Structure formats: C-alpha cells, structure tokens
Structure 1
Amino acid sequence: MGQAGRGRGLKRSISARGLLATVLIAIVMVIAVPTATTKTPSRPTAPDALSLESLPNDPHDRAGGFNVILEEKQGRATAAAKEEYSAAEVELTRSLRLRLRPATGADQFTASLPILHRSKVDRLAGVPPALTGLVTNDGADILATAYAPTDAFHADASPFDALLMGDQSGRFIPPLATGDHDWLKLPLPATSFSSEEQKCLSTAIYFEARGESLQGQAAVAQVILNRVRNPAYPDGICGVVYQNATLYNRCQFSFACDGAPERIVDRRAYDVAREIAMAVTGGKIFLQDIGSSTHYFATYVRPDWADAMEEMTQIGSHIFYRT
C-alpha cells in the first residue's frame, strides 16, 4: 500500500514536469512564430559600410560580392562625371564674360575647364563663315585684334604695348617650304594693320581679283604682302600697291595706273575683300601653294619676265610666280 502510493506520487511528479516543459515550449513557439512571420527583409548594408566580418568566408562568394559593389560604384562614378562635365560647361560659359570685369579669386577655373578649351576655338575666332574653309592657322598675328579670342583663357594686354617693349612673340611668321626665300620669315610692319594700309590692300583685291574665288582673292593679297616683306619692294602695303602709279600703264598693278577712276560699285564684293585682306595680313590664311610668290598675271597674257621665274600654281585665271 505504501509502495503503490509512492508510485502514484512519482507519476504525478513526472506528469507535472512534462506539463511544465510543454507549457514552456508552447510559450517559446508563441513568442518566436509571430516574430518570424512579421519580420520584413532588412535593407542591404551599403557597400561602403561593409566590414570584413560581414563578408562570406568562401573566396568565390567574396569576389562575387565585390563585383556587385564595383558595379554600383561605377554607376555612381559615371553619374558624377556627367554632373561634373555639365557643371564645367556652365562655368566655361560664365567665364566668357570675365573680360567685362577684373577677375577675382572666385573666378578661378576648375581643373576640368582647360579640357573643354580646344584649339579650334582660337582657329575660327572672328573669322567670317565664308572664309572658314581657307583658314590654315589656329592663332593669328598678335596685332590682328579682329581675331583675338575674347575669353579668360587669353591675356587681355595691348599688343602694341608689347611691340614697344621689343617683344616679337605672337607675330605671324609664314612657314617656309623648299625654295622659299628667307625674307618670308620677316613679320609684317605693325602699320600693316592700320585702317589706311588695310584700305589699300582691300582696294587692290577688289580691282584685281573680285571676279575670282575667295582663294584666288587671298592669293593676290598674299602676293602683295610678300612684296612688303621682300626688301626689293616698298615696306608698306600702300607703297607696294601704288608703286609707279604715276607712270601710265607702267605700275605694278594695272588698276593703279590705267587712268580709270577707282569707284567701288559693288559694296558686297568690297566687304569680302576687306575680310580677306585682314585674314591674310593676320596670318589666318596662308596659301602654301603660293608660298613666297611675288608675281602673277592673267592667263590671257604672257609677260617677258615669266620665263625667268618659277611657276608656282594657277588659281582661277591667275598664274603665280616666284623669283
């Protein structure tokens, strides 16, 4: 009777412990299950915030993770580069107005701005659209202010002040080819850019070659300027154009001594001649085929001196020669 009582007590104790364990398991499940079902996926850690501990142990998995990171970074870098380039364009546009006022520390350029500045900006500066196809020089003679770029990439200094100080840098020196004369390396006198000298050159182009192509007109201008450089001729444009003009039909350019009045009847043609005159004087246009030619004549005549000279080329109705 005592043993049976002890057995029943032991069973009750075991049953109580089992029940308690069951309750505890149930409580754990109640707590765990809602947490698992309501948990939302967490946002991936930003690549830049990754630590070594968070990387996978497998080297292959780790490499894959880095590839994803690199792709994301490359995308951000490309977008940033586009934004930087766009900002540089805006800054360059703003810089074009800096000559209107003194530059300040705030006007300093970023490192990316010079990349946007190309030589073609200088090459076509001030050149009329009709003449762009003849341009052969990126820069221009420093005295040819018509072609001086007006942006903050270039010094805003008086070219004539530089000449008074004896500085010949920036002067246009024609390129010499085989057979050209050394005097071609001489820069033109500063007076060649004056309105009076340019008028003489424009007038000569108008009367001698206004019926020719733009290239043909530029060739005539180059011959005249070659004579200015040549010590055997007067040292000024007007002196060359009107040499022996007082001798009837014995001058260097027929229009100057043919007895007919110099009337400009085609203003449009004269304006073109003026543009060509300055472009050739400033060195924006230099025809290599003409080189150091100092003579030309029309195809319908044959002067005696032609056989004693070297024929260079023919442009339109004019044949060009050098000594």
Structure 2
Amino acid sequence: MHRRGWKRPSAAAGGKHRSIFSPLVVGLGIWIGFPTVTAFQDMTSLVSGLEANARWNSYIEKSVAGSTQAAEMPFAVSASTGAMSGAGVDLPGVGTVSFTSKSGVVGETPDEDRIVRTGKGGRLVQIAPVAPPKNFNAGSIFERTSSLLRPSMDSDLKLAFAKPKIKGKEVEIAAAFHVREDKKPQAGISPMLAKLINNETPDVLATAYAPAEPDYAKASPFEALLQDEQADGGRFIPPMGKGDHSWLQNPLPAAVFSQPEQACLANAIYFEARSESLRGQAAVAQVVLNRVRNPTYPSSICGVVYQNDNWFNRCQFSFACDGRKDRVTEPSRYKIAKDIAMAVTAGKIFLPEVGSSTHYYASYVNPGWARAMHKMTKIGLHIFYRTYGGGWS
C-alpha cells in the first residue's frame, strides 16, 4: 500500500513574510511602552529644558536692534554658531534670551598661566608666638603710663617691692620651710655620752666611729671624691686655749687606737675615777692623753699609765703602784670606762676647761707640787693643774 508522507514546510518559503512582520511588532511595542520623548535633538529643547508642553510653539527670531533681553547665551565655538548670532528665543517664565557669538569666548591662554597662585599656601599654617610689646621690658614700667593710671590687676595684688605683712609670723613661716631631720644616733657612741660629745668629726683612725654606710643625704659620692684635702689629714687636733702649750696640737700616735692601749686607758679611768661623773672620767682620760702628746712623757698610753709602777706609792697614778691587785668588780662601770676612753682618744670629747692639764689630785689630799702649777678647774673631787713651762713643771 502506498503511503503519502507529510512534509514540513521549509523555512525559506515563509521567510519573506517574517522579515516584515517582526520589525513592525517590535516598533509597535516600543511606541506603546515608551510614550514620552527620549531625547531632544534641537536647540530649543536644550534651552527650554524639560518644559516640552509648548516646545512645538517655540521659534527662533532675530533680536531687534536696541532691544533689551532678559539674558544672554554665548557660544564658545563661533564657527558652528555664528549664523545664530543676534537671534533670540522666548522662554516661558524667563523671557527673551539673546544668542551671542563673540562675548564669553574661552581664551586660548591655559589655566596654568592664567591663574595666579602666588597668594596661596599649604594647608598647614605656621603660627609664630606673639612677642611682648617692645616698650614693655624690664626697667620700663614708668613708660607704661596708661597701665599705671588705670591698672587692670586686682587692687589686692601687690607689686614685687611691696613690704609683706608678716609681722609676728616670722617663726611660723620659717618653720614651714625648715626641713626637720631626725637626729640619728652616732655610731659607737653610748647614749649616756651623747651630752658630752662636742666634736662631730672624730679622728680618721678611730674605726670604731666609722659609719657602716656613707650618708649620701649630706654628701654625694662626687663631693667625697672632689673635696679639698684636709690640712691635718683627718687627724684630730685639739683646739688651743689661752695659756695652752703648743705640744697640745700634736696628733696622737696611731697605736693609741689598738686594743692594748685602749685597755690601759680604760684601766686608768676605772681605777682612778669610776666613782666620778662621766665628765670627771673624761677629764682623767684627757690628762693621760695630754701626757702622750707631751714630749716629756712616754709616747704610749700604757707607758704613761704605768710609768714608775715599780716605785711603791711614788708612781704617776696611784692604782699602778699601791701594791694591790687590780681586779674589775663592776663590769658595767668598766664598759663605760672603755666607751669614754675611745671617745676621748678619737676627739669626740674634749674639755676646754681641762685644756693641756697634765696633773690632777683628789681634794682630800694636799700635794706639795700643786703650788708650782696653774690651777685649771675642779670636776667632782679632782682638781686639775697645768704646768707653767710645759714640761715637768
């Protein structure tokens, strides 16, 4: 059986009809979808802006010579707009606008040469401090007559040379600026001997009074290094009083600070004056040390204390030749004697009333040599004497 097959029409057969129908449909859709004007291509549209309601009624006409217009619109390029020179346009709400071709033309000079920037600067502004008036300097107060006649300061303020009203408050004001320092106990000094101390610079060889740490509050390390060298080398030199002998200023030998020498001096103080006051005991120690300084006597403490100790009751200090055994029965008093011995040897204690005395005796005896010497003072039961010649007599 023969079948007739169906054939699809070819695209070439209906291509002619579709080529006209498709643009027509697209154009109709754009016209319906965009009913407004998309752009203005004439001069009137550019001038009137969006006021297109009466733009079909606008026209260009030549301005009347001598007439006035509300505004002018110049054109930069005269080649294309020169034909419109002298024409104008009436705009709603503005009036007549005249077109010109020559005025307002941009010059050919570039902006770099046309703009003057000499008066311009950076954003960071440097402000110099305002100097005081030249006439208002030190010593020119009288030249400022306007300030003197009409002062701007408070009447309660006083000038620099005004006399302060502090009468009766001097002590109170001085106390406010006075630094109170707590008195520190001196190294090696017994509290009982503090009242007898009259010299703050002991002998440099007295290591017992050397501070454990330097006091930097009073003297810095630089001052300690740069200070002037002392003339006496730091040794204690007793002050000379009226009538004192020159040998008083002889420094003591360095050996007097040794333990054996200090023990001999402590024995003399303890056995000769332990019942006396602290001042009386210091006076006995000073007499012993005066003999060490005197070239007439031995140059050591032990030599002075035990001189002629083999002469029964005829030695210099009675306890050394009285035939009795020296025994310390009061350790507390002996400790005081040791403290006094070191303080007097170091020069921390020096009694000016005793001075260069080399002799003393108790008031209950009457030696014959007393009439040949100068009486210095009496402390407790002891009377102290100084020789006239500086030696034995």
Question: TM-score with structure 1 length normalisation?
Answer: 0.60
Q: What displacement does 1:246 show?
A: 1.5
* Total equivalences in the alignment: 217
State which of 177, 196, 199 in structure 1 corresponds to 2:241. Answer: 177
1-side partners of 2:243 and 2:199: how far apart? Answer: 21
Q: Does 1:251 align with 2:341?
A: no
Cα distance in 2 for partners of 1:170, 1:261 equals 39
Counterpart pick for 1:131 among 169, 193, 208: 193
The 1-side partners of 2:375 and 2:220 are apart by 42
Alignment of 1:149-164 (within 5 A): 149=211, 150-152=214-216
Q: Following TM superposition, by how much is the alpha carbon of 1:135 offset from its aligned partner in structure 2, in angstroms?
A: 1.1
* 2:127 maps to 1:63: no
How far the C-alpha of 1:168 sits from its partner, in A, is 4.4
In terms of fraction of residues, the more helix-rich structure is 1
1:140 matched residue in structure 2: 202
Partner Cα separation in structure 1 for residue 286 and residue 148 of structure 2: 77
Is 1:298 the counterpart of 2:349 in the alignment? no
Please show how residues 1-323 of structure 1 align to structure 2 within 5 Å: 62-64=152-154, 67=157, 124-149=186-211, 150-152=214-216, 168-323=232-387
Counterpart secondary structure, 1:319: strand
Identity %: 57
What is the distance in 2 between the residues matched to 1:306 and 1:61? 84
Paired amino acid for 1:137: N
Please give the per-residue CA displacement for 1:192-232, whole angstroms capped at 9, x wherever unaligned.
11111000000110000000000000000000000000000
Structure 1, residues 67-125: CA drift from partner, whole Å, max 9, x if none?
59x9xxxxxxxxxxxxxx9xxx9xxxxxxxxxxxxxxxxxxxxxxxxxx889x769x44
1:272 maps to a residue whose letter is: I
Q: Could you tell me which amino acid in structure 1 is paired with residue 244 of structure 2? A: D
Q: Distance in 2 between matches of 1:155 and 1:226?
A: 36
Amino acid at match of 1:177: G
**Runs of 5+ in structure 1 lacking a partner?**
1-50, 71-84, 90-115, 157-166
User: Could you tell me how far apart the structure 2 residues matched to 1:186 and 1:206 are?
Assistant: 26
1:231-290 deviation per Cα after TM superposition (whole angstroms, max 9, x unaligned):
000000000000011221111101111111111110110010011001100111000000
- Compute the TM-score of the two structures, normalised by the length of structure 2: 0.50
Structure 1 runs of 4+ with >6 Å offset:
none
Q: Which has the higher contact order (CA 8 A, sep 6+)?
A: 1
Bigger Rg over Cα: 2
Secondary structure, in 3 states, of the residue corresponding to 2:234? coil
* Structure 1 residue 178: Cα displacement: 1.1
One-letter identity of the residue aligned with 1:215 = R
Per-residue deviation at 1:169? 1.1
Q: What root-mean-square deviation, in Å, do the aligned CA atoms of Structure 1 and Structure 2 show?
A: 3.3
Unaligned runs of 5+ in 2: 1-131, 134-146, 161-176, 222-230, 388-393
Residue by residue over 1:128-176, the C-alpha shift from the partner in whole angstroms, topping out at 9 and shown as x without a partner, is 21111111112111111222234345699xxxxxxxxxx8411000001
